[in-house]
Structure 1
Protein backbone atom coordinates (compact mmCIF):
# COMPACT_ATOMS: atom_id res chain seq x y z
CA UNK A 1 0.00 0.00 0.00
CA UNK A 2 2.92 2.36 0.66
CA UNK A 3 3.86 2.26 -3.04
CA UNK A 4 0.32 3.27 -3.99
CA UNK A 5 0.54 6.20 -1.60
CA UNK A 6 3.84 7.19 -3.16
CA UNK A 7 2.28 6.99 -6.63
CA UNK A 8 -0.55 9.20 -5.38
CA UNK A 9 1.99 11.69 -4.04
CA UNK A 10 3.79 11.79 -7.37
CA UNK A 11 0.66 12.17 -9.50
CA UNK A 12 -0.91 14.87 -7.34
CA UNK A 13 2.35 16.81 -7.17
CA UNK A 14 2.71 16.71 -10.95
CA UNK A 15 -0.91 17.79 -11.37
CA UNK A 16 -0.34 20.68 -8.95
CA UNK A 17 2.79 21.77 -10.78
CA UNK A 18 1.02 21.69 -14.15
CA UNK A 19 -1.84 23.66 -12.59
CA UNK A 20 0.70 26.19 -11.35
CA UNK A 21 1.91 26.63 -14.91
CA UNK A 22 -1.67 27.27 -16.03
CA UNK A 23 -2.39 29.62 -13.11
CA UNK A 24 0.67 31.71 -13.96
CA UNK A 25 -0.63 32.48 -17.46
CA UNK A 26 -1.94 36.02 -17.98
CA UNK A 27 -5.73 36.03 -17.71
CA UNK A 28 -5.87 32.49 -16.30
CA UNK A 29 -8.97 31.43 -14.39
CA UNK A 30 -8.64 31.66 -10.61
CA UNK A 31 -9.79 28.03 -10.39
CA UNK A 32 -6.28 26.90 -11.36
CA UNK A 33 -5.04 28.16 -7.99
CA UNK A 34 -7.43 25.77 -6.26
CA UNK A 35 -5.81 22.94 -8.21
CA UNK A 36 -2.38 24.12 -7.14
CA UNK A 37 -3.23 24.23 -3.44
CA UNK A 38 -5.27 21.05 -3.42
CA UNK A 39 -2.66 19.15 -5.39
CA UNK A 40 0.27 20.10 -3.17
CA UNK A 41 -1.67 19.40 0.04
CA UNK A 42 -2.73 16.01 -1.32
CA UNK A 43 0.82 15.24 -2.45
CA UNK A 44 2.24 15.85 1.02
CA UNK A 45 -0.62 13.91 2.55
CA UNK A 46 0.10 10.90 0.35
CA UNK A 47 3.83 11.22 1.03
CA UNK A 48 3.12 11.24 4.75
CA UNK A 49 1.07 8.06 4.40
CA UNK A 50 3.87 6.39 2.42
CA UNK A 51 6.41 7.30 5.08
CA UNK A 52 4.07 6.20 7.87
CA UNK A 53 3.75 2.87 6.08
CA UNK A 54 7.47 2.27 6.48
CA UNK A 55 8.98 3.60 3.25
CA UNK A 56 12.42 5.07 3.92
CA UNK A 57 12.59 8.84 3.53
CA UNK A 58 15.59 8.85 1.17
CA UNK A 59 14.03 6.26 -1.09
CA UNK A 60 10.55 7.84 -1.06
CA UNK A 61 11.79 11.35 -1.67
CA UNK A 62 14.25 10.25 -4.34
CA UNK A 63 11.60 8.37 -6.29
CA UNK A 64 9.06 11.17 -5.78
CA UNK A 65 11.48 13.78 -7.09
CA UNK A 66 12.83 11.74 -10.00
CA UNK A 67 9.51 10.50 -11.31
CA UNK A 68 7.98 13.92 -10.70
CA UNK A 69 10.68 15.65 -12.73
CA UNK A 70 10.38 13.15 -15.56
CA UNK A 71 6.57 13.26 -15.72
CA UNK A 72 6.48 17.05 -15.46
CA UNK A 73 9.02 17.45 -18.26
CA UNK A 74 7.14 15.04 -20.51
CA UNK A 75 3.73 16.53 -19.72
CA UNK A 76 4.95 20.09 -20.24
CA UNK A 77 6.29 19.05 -23.61
CA UNK A 78 2.91 17.63 -24.62
CA UNK A 79 0.66 20.23 -22.99
CA UNK A 80 2.68 23.43 -23.32
CA UNK A 81 5.02 22.63 -26.23
CA UNK A 82 8.04 23.28 -24.00
CA UNK A 83 11.41 21.97 -25.18
CA UNK A 84 12.61 18.48 -24.31
CA UNK A 85 16.11 18.17 -25.71
CA UNK A 86 18.47 15.23 -25.78
CA UNK A 87 20.46 16.83 -22.97
CA UNK A 88 17.30 17.13 -20.88
CA UNK A 89 16.43 13.49 -21.56
CA UNK A 90 19.97 12.53 -20.51
CA UNK A 91 19.40 14.46 -17.28
CA UNK A 92 16.23 12.51 -16.61
CA UNK A 93 18.10 9.24 -17.18
CA UNK A 94 20.87 10.36 -14.80
CA UNK A 95 18.33 11.30 -12.13
CA UNK A 96 16.72 7.87 -12.48
CA UNK A 97 20.13 6.22 -12.20
CA UNK A 98 20.87 8.20 -9.05
CA UNK A 99 17.58 7.14 -7.47
CA UNK A 100 18.34 3.53 -8.39
CA UNK A 101 21.68 3.84 -6.60
CA UNK A 102 19.91 5.21 -3.51
CA UNK A 103 17.41 2.34 -3.61
CA UNK A 104 20.13 -0.28 -4.01
CA UNK A 105 22.19 1.33 -1.25
CA UNK A 106 19.24 1.35 1.11
CA UNK A 107 18.73 -2.38 0.73
CA UNK A 108 22.24 -3.17 1.99
Structure 2
Protein backbone atom coordinates (compact mmCIF):
# COMPACT_ATOMS: atom_id res chain seq x y z
CA UNK A 1 0.00 0.00 0.00
CA UNK A 2 1.40 3.40 -0.96
CA UNK A 3 1.97 6.36 1.31
CA UNK A 4 -1.04 8.28 0.01
CA UNK A 5 -3.37 5.31 0.52
CA UNK A 6 -2.18 5.04 4.11
CA UNK A 7 -2.67 8.78 4.44
CA UNK A 8 -6.26 8.46 3.21
CA UNK A 9 -6.82 5.67 5.74
CA UNK A 10 -5.32 7.83 8.51
CA UNK A 11 -7.61 10.72 7.58
CA UNK A 12 -10.74 8.54 7.41
CA UNK A 13 -9.93 6.91 10.75
CA UNK A 14 -9.23 10.25 12.44
CA UNK A 15 -12.46 11.80 11.13
CA UNK A 16 -14.44 8.75 12.26
CA UNK A 17 -12.86 8.93 15.70
CA UNK A 18 -13.46 12.66 16.07
CA UNK A 19 -17.13 12.44 15.05
CA UNK A 20 -17.52 9.43 17.36
CA UNK A 21 -16.04 11.49 20.19
CA UNK A 22 -18.97 13.88 19.92
CA UNK A 23 -21.45 11.01 19.58
CA UNK A 24 -20.00 9.21 22.63
CA UNK A 25 -21.52 11.88 24.89
CA UNK A 26 -18.53 12.00 27.24
CA UNK A 27 -17.74 8.30 26.76
CA UNK A 28 -21.16 7.36 28.15
CA UNK A 29 -22.21 5.51 24.97
CA UNK A 30 -20.33 2.28 24.29
CA UNK A 31 -20.24 1.96 20.49
CA UNK A 32 -19.06 5.51 19.73
CA UNK A 33 -16.55 5.25 22.59
CA UNK A 34 -15.06 2.11 21.04
CA UNK A 35 -14.90 3.86 17.65
CA UNK A 36 -12.96 6.72 19.26
CA UNK A 37 -10.24 4.43 20.60
CA UNK A 38 -10.05 2.20 17.52
CA UNK A 39 -10.24 5.14 15.12
CA UNK A 40 -7.44 7.14 16.73
CA UNK A 41 -5.31 4.01 17.09
CA UNK A 42 -5.75 3.17 13.41
CA UNK A 43 -5.15 6.80 12.41
CA UNK A 44 -1.80 6.94 14.21
CA UNK A 45 -0.78 3.51 12.93
CA UNK A 46 -1.56 4.53 9.34
CA UNK A 47 0.20 7.87 9.79
CA UNK A 48 3.29 6.05 11.08
CA UNK A 49 3.26 3.91 7.92
CA UNK A 50 3.03 7.07 5.79
CA UNK A 51 6.17 8.39 7.45
CA UNK A 52 7.96 5.05 7.17
CA UNK A 53 7.20 5.03 3.43
CA UNK A 54 9.05 8.33 3.08
CA UNK A 55 6.48 11.09 2.86
CA UNK A 56 7.98 14.13 4.63
CA UNK A 57 6.46 14.66 8.07
CA UNK A 58 5.55 18.30 7.39
CA UNK A 59 3.62 17.38 4.26
CA UNK A 60 1.97 14.30 5.77
CA UNK A 61 0.87 16.08 8.92
CA UNK A 62 -0.35 19.14 7.04
CA UNK A 63 -2.51 17.05 4.72
CA UNK A 64 -3.76 14.86 7.58
CA UNK A 65 -4.65 17.78 9.81
CA UNK A 66 -6.22 20.00 7.15
CA UNK A 67 -8.26 17.22 5.59
CA UNK A 68 -9.41 16.17 9.05
CA UNK A 69 -10.47 19.72 9.96
CA UNK A 70 -12.32 20.22 6.67
CA UNK A 71 -14.06 16.84 6.72
CA UNK A 72 -15.10 17.08 10.38
CA UNK A 73 -16.50 20.56 9.72
CA UNK A 74 -18.39 19.26 6.67
CA UNK A 75 -19.85 16.30 8.59
CA UNK A 76 -20.79 18.66 11.42
CA UNK A 77 -22.70 20.93 9.08
CA UNK A 78 -24.34 18.23 6.96
CA UNK A 79 -25.20 15.59 9.55
CA UNK A 80 -24.95 17.16 13.00
CA UNK A 81 -26.74 20.38 12.02
CA UNK A 82 -23.91 22.58 13.25
CA UNK A 83 -23.86 26.19 12.02
CA UNK A 84 -21.46 27.53 9.41
CA UNK A 85 -20.83 31.04 8.19
CA UNK A 86 -18.64 32.89 5.73
CA UNK A 87 -15.82 33.39 8.25
CA UNK A 88 -15.67 29.64 8.95
CA UNK A 89 -15.69 28.81 5.24
CA UNK A 90 -12.92 31.36 4.67
CA UNK A 91 -10.87 29.76 7.44
CA UNK A 92 -11.23 26.32 5.91
CA UNK A 93 -10.21 27.66 2.50
CA UNK A 94 -7.11 29.23 4.08
CA UNK A 95 -6.19 25.99 5.87
CA UNK A 96 -6.51 23.99 2.66
CA UNK A 97 -4.61 26.67 0.72
CA UNK A 98 -1.82 26.48 3.27
CA UNK A 99 -1.53 22.74 2.77
CA UNK A 100 -1.35 23.19 -0.98
CA UNK A 101 1.51 25.66 -0.49
CA UNK A 102 3.33 23.27 1.85
CA UNK A 103 2.97 20.45 -0.68
CA UNK A 104 4.13 22.71 -3.53
CA UNK A 105 7.09 23.93 -1.48
CA UNK A 106 8.16 20.39 -0.68
CA UNK A 107 8.29 19.59 -4.40
CA UNK A 108 10.53 22.56 -5.19
Using the size of structure 2 for normalisation, the TM-score is 0.94
Unaligned runs of 5+ in 2: none
Task: Kindly report structure 1 stretches of 4+ aligned residues shifted beyond 6 Å.
Answer: none
Do the aligned residues in 2 keep the contact of 1:18 with 1:72 (CA within 8 Å)? yes
Do the aligned residues in 2 keep the contact of 1:2 with 1:55 (CA within 8 Å)? yes
Q: Is 1:36 matched with 2:33?
A: no
Greater CA deviation, 81-90 or 4-13?
81-90
Unaligned runs of 5+ in 1: none
Q: Which residue of 2 aligns with 1:5?
A: 6
CA distance in 2, matches of 1:76, 1:53: 32
Aligned length, in residue pairs: 107
CA RMSD of aligned residues (A): 1.3
Q: What do the CA deviations read for 1:53-100 (whole angstroms, capped 9, x no partner)?
A: 110000000000111100000001112100121111111100011111
Q: Which residue of 1 aligns with 2:18?
A: 17
In structure 1, the residue corresponding to 2:50 is in which secondary structure?
A: helix
